[in-house]
Amino acid sequence: MANDDASSPQSPSQGTAPGSALPPLPDPSTVGQVPPRADLSWSTLKDASKTIDGKSFAHLHEMPCARQTYMTGIATGFAFGGVKLVLRAPVWNACSWAVGTCFFAATVVWETCRWRRGREQDGMIRAMQIMEYKRLEKEKRMEERKEQLRVEEEKRRIDAAKGWWKPW
């Protein structure tokens, strides 16, 4: 980007523009780098179970990544269980493999989908920060240009007041 080099003018990196809900702008040398998301590894199963209520299951299909996860898990489990049955495995054994494969595939697809969504959100946040940074740079250039025009106009006014000739 044009703003990646160190010779670009420094924009105010502390605070945000008035009325902006964005976080403070980063140092121009870090444009394009996305900070890592918060680490939630300290959460426990007990904490997670407190957030689940009856209405959560009614709206499960509305969750991002849920449809893809369940469809992939069901299809994978059905296919793997069917293959086990065709290869003449006992029914109980084939069903166990089908259920295990379903949960394993669903977990992999769920984590992959959530990871992709997180990266997409990080990219959108980064794009908004860059747009805000460029807007502030443009405003700064406009203010500098206005100041330059004001100084030039004042100089012209002073020169016009002096007159262009002197009698003595």
What are the pLDDT digits (tens) for 90-141? 999 999 999 999 999 999 999 999 999 989 998 898 899 899 899 999 999 9
Residue 122 included in any domain: yes
Q: Count of domains in the chain?
A: 1
For position 159, what pLDDT does the model report?
Answer: 81
Per-residue pLDDT of 23-39, as tens digits, reads 565 565 665 555 666 56
Q: In this model, does residue 151 exceed pLDDT 80?
A: yes
Per-residue pLDDT of 44-81, as tens digits, reads 778 877 888 878 778 887 888 999 999 999 999 999 99
Q: In this model, does residue 8 exceed pLDDT 50?
A: no
Cβ 131 vs Cβ 16: under 8 Å: no
Amino acid at 119: R
3-state secondary structure of 14: coil
User: Model pTM?
Assistant: 0.56
The whole domain housing 85 covers: 60-130
Residue 36 Cα distances to 22, 43, 56, 81, 122, angstroms: 17, 18, 28, 39, 9
Cβ 135 vs Cβ 17: under 8 Å: yes
Residue 111 included in any domain: yes
Cβ 94 vs Cβ 84: under 8 Å: yes
Residue 144 included in any domain: no
Residue 65 included in any domain: yes
Residue 82 included in any domain: yes
Q: 63-70 long-range CB contacts below 8 Å, 24 or more apart?
A: 64/113, 64/117, 65/109, 65/110, 65/113, 65/114, 65/117, 68/109, 68/113, 69/106, 69/109, 69/110, 69/113, 70/106
